Chains A and B, each alone.
Chain A
Amino acid sequence: MSKELTAFERSDGRWGLRNHVLILPLHSAFSATARKIADESNGAVAVSHDWSGEIDADFDRIVKTISGFAANPNNFATIFITIGTPNELGIIELARKLGLSKAEVLNVAELGSMGKIAEIGLQMANSLLKEAKAVSRISAPWSAIKLGQECGGSDALSGITANPALGVASDRLVELGSSSVLGETTEILGAEHLLAARAITPEIGAQIVETVARYERSINYEGIDMRGAQPSRGNIEGGLTTLEEKSLGAAKKAGSAQFSGVFEFADQVTKPGLYFMDTPGHDTEQLTGYGAGGINIIVFTTGRGTPTGSAIVPTIKVATNTTMADAIPDLIDLNAGTIADGLKTLNDVGGELFDLILEVANGQLTKAEKGLHHEFSLSRMYNTIIR
């Protein structure tokens, strides 16, 4: 019998697996101040980015990412640092609409100096942290878990150890009523026909195929030869030969459940079931997009040992091979290399991962959380015209 799941219930009925106070600059120039406030506080987290309010072809994508990340249910509160432009204030409004109940604002135009922002921000953060501490976890339904699947630094064992082990855990969660999301369009290119065949309707299958086709059209338009980037040099050294091979292995993360739908980048994940989300292959952009879509826990399989984590979404690292797991124990939460060593079966490790997901959901810190791996990147489709 599995242990009980506990979580923080938000006022709009969403569930958080963490209770963060996030300091979020709405302009790149406030990044250092955001970090200073977080560092000096009693446990707030901060992210920084390079967006400075440009209005370009990626504007909607950036607004969606920042507002969604601010509103992630793992945040008890978000403190925005803003110059007060209509675009920036629009992001705060959008975050409120997405369910962020505690949105605090540090307006640089009103407060003036960065010193004053840091001082008031610190008081604000510590007071919110005190409030957050007073909130307790309560028993939560399985639908509270919104799992994001990710792989980075794949090797030839990814597709036979860590990825299929995640597939076992994902299948179990989906059966219990959780949400589970496969992403990284680049990395299913070549395997989309297999995933489409597992869609609950032919329309959803066609959507999966079209999402990949749209991506292929965009790279052909740019004149980019994907063979230069995928598989990456590291993948090739690890033994992966073609993009199709990497994709077949990457798709093993989604187990064998049926696909209930397709999401655009950073869409809100609200319903139970297995989904595909159109996200980039870049680890940090993808993790950020998951956070913006309300995903509250991530399993990240890695063959080469990637430190990447999120300020607000606990990220469980699963090693594909024992050599790497033993070399960097400070980054790896679970070693699936034991499958290739002939020591454990896929079901053994899938079961261990399921148990670990539950422990982490209930509050156990991941290695990435302990190491403060708080990466954040905005995903862009086009070049920024103002730069």
Chain B
Amino acid sequence: MMEQLKTVLLLCLIGLSLFLTYQLWYGQKPAELVAEDVYEQVEIETPRSLEETVVPYRIVLNGGNTNYLYSKGNPGFDELWQELSDLLKNIENNFFSEDQNGPEEEGLRCLACYFDPALPAGDENLWLPGLSTGSIEILSLYCLQDSYWLVIKKADQEEKQYLLLDEAKAAQFSAILENLDLENETAYSLLTVDLINEIMQDDPVEDDPIENDPVEDDPTEENTNEGNLLEKEIDIRASIYVPLGEVFMEKFNVEPENLEKELLLKTFFVDYNLVREIEERDGSLLYTDGEKGLRLSNNRFEYSYPRLEEGQTTVNYSEALRKSSSLISFHGGWPENLRLADLSLNSRAGLWFYVAEWTLYKNGYPFLTGQPTRASFNDQGLFHFTRSLYNPEAPVENFEEELPVSPHKITVEVAAWTDALLQAISNIEDTATDVGSRLRLGALELAYAVTTSEGQLRGIPVWFVIINGEEIILEADTLETINKEDLL
């Protein structure tokens, strides 16, 4: 009897010891220990590869007398860039020369890729590995009858470099171009001073008032615009492509991207438990551990770590590209159709740092927002970050306008580029004290502006114009001015 009791007691004790061990190992920790166990693993998006990080901001295809543009967000853009990228990675036997006899004629250029940020190429880089190391701004393909030439323009170099492609590579490029279906694409023309003069003379504004032109009720002002344009010289400072014929764009509702607050906090504050919350009067939330600060508001967030600003920068351009990809992937993720739009090395008070900036695209048109999505970093790490991204797929419900083409969008006809240019010049003359007789045109392109109306965030098609360094945003259909302060 005694032995049986001992057996039962022993079994109970063994069972209890197993239970206690389990509890000690896996059970809840007391509060006092929490601070020591905060370095938890955070699951975040995998950073993008270099070929997904650097993509052209525009691919221009020459189809005879007209051009076709591909940008981020256009159907087929990612596939086209992927094919071109693969091909460029395999061009190893590089004998680029600065021979001045290479092809130059615009009509022979069948493809051009414009990069901003520049494409890292050459030794130790993915693309054109045989080339001397450098960053490519424009990469063009010239299709002659019996030969294909690759022509590159490096950043900070005036001279172009030329490579005569072998037959196999030429055939591969040719196949890519032949597979593109350009039938339903909008045709564009490279803007030149000759084209401006030609259009203005062929289509005098006073005889054919422009539909929807906001200045049409004021013939004096209209005439002034035309006269000024014809009188003033226009200096085109960038490769600007303007649409030939009608362009239709969508107006749509947008909503701020939905970021998980707790995950976001964990990506900025390693020791999440030491962070305190401040609720500001406008409803924004500020988180700080005394050294770093993160402000979350409805449409954006902003992060600052002033102590790291003292650091220096030694990483090269390629490394900085990789770092920028990691940063945005880590802090909120890299949504579809977001493109790295700039990466520059800056200095302040003798301290060097990189600034990376991203732009969201829809159907090939960039989004203009009030606060950029921008990261500033150095060897020490990220010291300033702002992020303001929107989901353009929110359904349209509150639009007052009638005639929706589909339940999710309203399509509007875009005013002609000539009208947009005239209106922008008029705006500049109204605001600037001394415009001068020569206008420097830096941009004339279609985009989307994020604004608000009756509490609803909206994506509005706009003409974005830069004249004499001044940025002008005009509603694409009415050409009414949108103040930059009204952008969200």
Specify whether A and B are partners.
Answer: no
